[in-house]
Chains A and B, each alone.
Chain A
Amino acid sequence: MPEEALEVDADVIVIGGGVAGTVCAHQLAQAGKQVILIERGGQPGAKNLSGGIFYCRVMEQVFPDFVGEAPVERRITRNVLSFLNPTSHFNVDYWDQRLADPVNAVTVLRAKLDAWLAEQCEDAGVMVMPGIRVDSLLFENGQVVGVKAGEDELHAHVVVAADGVNSFIAQQAGIRAKEPAQNLAVGVKSVIGLPEKVIEDRFNVTGNDGVAYALVGDCTKTAAGGGFLYTNKESISVGVVLRLDDLEAKGLTSSEVHDHFLGHPAIAPLLRDGELLEYGCHLTIENGPAMAAHDLARPGLLIIGDAAGFTLNTGLTIRGMDLAAGSGIAAAKTIIKAFERGSYGQQDMDDYKKQLGATFVGADMKTYAKAPNFLEVPRMYQDYGLLLTDIFHDIYSCDTTPRKHIAATAAGAFKRSKVKLLTALGDMLKAARAL
């Protein structure tokens, strides 16, 4: 059947109203395309949960005053990297007012942000259909021509799968097989309500500014993964991310690890007298570069955001939403070009790879391809934190025994640590190359 004869309900159907899906739908509508955005949640955002940091500069390409207009929580000007041990922590605490102008990163709560993004889509002419679960793709002669939801069928020239980390659509299309457990992690998160004034005083921030903690070590009972703590306007997003293979291997209970972290003597005081507003969890991607190495397109189909594997843990920054937005923009460009040609086959869809390569999304996925491998080093989650605090303990603990110079103090700590000096130097070199 010639494509011109295909009866369509819209030019493009986007599955999933997260950051990737809404950004893509919005860009397409702005270019004059008829777009249907299908979301399984009763309201856009109802199914979405993220740690909460959005490196949001990319959003200026879509909404020029994103930070001013969108419901964002706080502008992150302080970043704390924390090695957490059972009775100590070692923090790298970096505050920089330059991160506020222009705003580099914000905390967000997805139920609020995604609802706003969906509204922007509607204003741009997208038909947003919430409360509908897409069950499968419709194929005709090997080409994706629409979606099936219950008894209903909807047809379009192109379908965009933005249905998240569990993407049933990408699996059905044969793009993704079952993901190995080491490529995935579960995030278990609590949102703890606290008055604005308490947050400002407790975290030493003022106005709209906020702080983001990334923690490794005892927060996960030394399982691969980490802890996070982000300040919102009137709440704290706090929780753990646990790599599935290690969670299984170490015999840990995910909710207990979460509780252990929130009750840790270094964390509990930050949450004191707070009120639990919500407990949630979400599967997340640990090895984005490996996942995104899959195909990203089929005739009439593109996959974007988490569905495609666009998440990056660089050790210091954990990114997903910015890559989701970037891939949504690249997909929209690809589709707009395909419409100019009037053809939506594999070749047309494969232009997406080129579009991605021209953006920070493709470039960063390449740059950080070795990061997941490096972050597998178990020393990261156990030994380095203890080693660092041992050195500083010996420096600060003036217990009337004779003091030593720093070099000798460090050498002594190394001697007691499981980590050998050469191993540590090797890890540093690897880190410099991978991160």
Chain B
Amino acid sequence: MTIFGDVTQRLAGNTYVVDEQSHIEVNQEIARKTGTGKLLVRVCPAHVYSENEDGTIGVLFAACLECGTCRALASPDALTWHYPNGGFGIAFREG
């Protein structure tokens, strides 16, 4: 079986125009209370979200593929998510 690498290696092959400013914000308290935090870690195909040792949710916004799965599944107010500024973010070469 041909190995295509882990998610981090796969994303490294993509083209991104990384902004300085994050387009994603997690409300840690609501994320913890509602379980949204753990859910986002599982469902995001780009592994943008990770759980820190203290239970807070880390956000690697630069890896985002802008699908919107997190936004669709997050509990109300647990997540602020919009598209990156114009021209920034993932730039698909294949699509």
Are B42 and A254 in touch, CB under 8 angstroms? yes
Flag whether A283 is at the interface (Cβ < 8 A): yes
- Of A47, A113, A272, most B-chain CB atoms within 10 Å: A47
Stretch from B25-33, B43-51, B53-61 contacting the other chain: B43-51
Of the candidates A50, A133, A181, A190, the one whose C-beta lies within 8 Å of that of B73 is A181
* Shortest CB distance A290–B (Å): 15
Of the candidates B1, B13, B66, B71, the one whose C-beta lies within 8 Å of that of A279 is B13
Closest to A192 in B: B4
Flag whether B24 is at the interface (Cβ < 8 A): no
Are A274 and B14 in touch, CB under 8 angstroms? no
A51–B92 Cα distance when bound, in Å, is: 13
A104–B31 Cα distance when bound, in Å, is: 47
Flag whether A391 is at the interface (Cβ < 8 A): no
Flag whether A271 is at the interface (Cβ < 8 A): yes
Are A110 and B2 in touch, CB under 8 angstroms? no
A50–B83 Cα distance when bound, in Å, is: 18
* Shortest CB distance B83–A (Å): 6
Are B94 and A255 in touch, CB under 8 angstroms? no
A186–B67 Cα distance when bound, in Å, is: 8
State the interface size on chain A (CB cutoff 8 A): 60
A318–B93 Cα distance when bound, in Å, is: 23
Are B87 and A277 in touch, CB under 8 angstroms? no
Closest to A268 in B: B1
Are B69 and A40 in touch, CB under 8 angstroms? no
A45–B93 Cα distance when bound, in Å, is: 8
A278–B13 Cα distance when bound, in Å, is: 7
A41–B92 Cα distance when bound, in Å, is: 9
Given known contacts A184-B72, A244-B69, A251 and B42 CB-to-CB distance under 8 angstroms: yes
* Shortest CB distance A148–B (Å): 12
Given known contacts A47-B66, A254-B42, A281-B45, A190 and B95 CB-to-CB distance under 8 angstroms: no
Are A46 and B90 in touch, CB under 8 angstroms? yes
Flag whether A253 is at the interface (Cβ < 8 A): yes
Are A46 and B5 in touch, CB under 8 angstroms? no
Flag whether A149 is at the interface (Cβ < 8 A): yes
* Shortest CB distance A195–B (Å): 14
Of the candidates A49, A130, A244, the one whose C-beta lies within 8 Å of that of B92 is A49
Of the candidates A43, A114, A281, the one whose C-beta lies within 8 Å of that of B67 is A281
Query: Which residues B6-47 have CB closer than 8 A to chain A?
Result: 7, 10-11, 13-14, 17, 39, 42-47
Are B87 and A181 in touch, CB under 8 angstroms? no
Closest to A284 in B: B67
Are B73 and A244 in touch, CB under 8 angstroms? yes
Closest to B85 in A: A133
- Of B66, B85, B86, B89, most A-chain CB atoms within 10 Å: B86
A247–B40 Cα distance when bound, in Å, is: 11
A133–B42 Cα distance when bound, in Å, is: 29
Are A254 and B69 in touch, CB under 8 angstroms? yes
Flag whether A258 is at the interface (Cβ < 8 A): yes
Are B86 and A273 in touch, CB under 8 angstroms? no
- Give A contacts to B, CB under 8 Å: 40-43, 45-50, 109-114, 130-133, 149-150, 165-166, 168, 178-179, 181, 184, 186-188, 190-192, 235, 244, 247-248, 251-255, 258, 262-263, 268, 271-274, 276-283
28 pairs from A and B in contact (CB 8 Å cutoff): A40-B86, A42-B87, A47-B89, A109-B94, A110-B95, A113-B95, A131-B87, A132-B87, A133-B85, A181-B72, A181-B73, A190-B10, A244-B72, A248-B43, A254-B69, A255-B7, A268-B2, A274-B2, A277-B13, A278-B14, A278-B95, A280-B14, A280-B65, A280-B95, A281-B45, A281-B46, A282-B65, A283-B68
- Give B contacts to A, CB under 8 Å: 1-2, 4-5, 7, 10-11, 13-14, 17, 39, 42-47, 65-69, 71-73, 82-87, 89-95
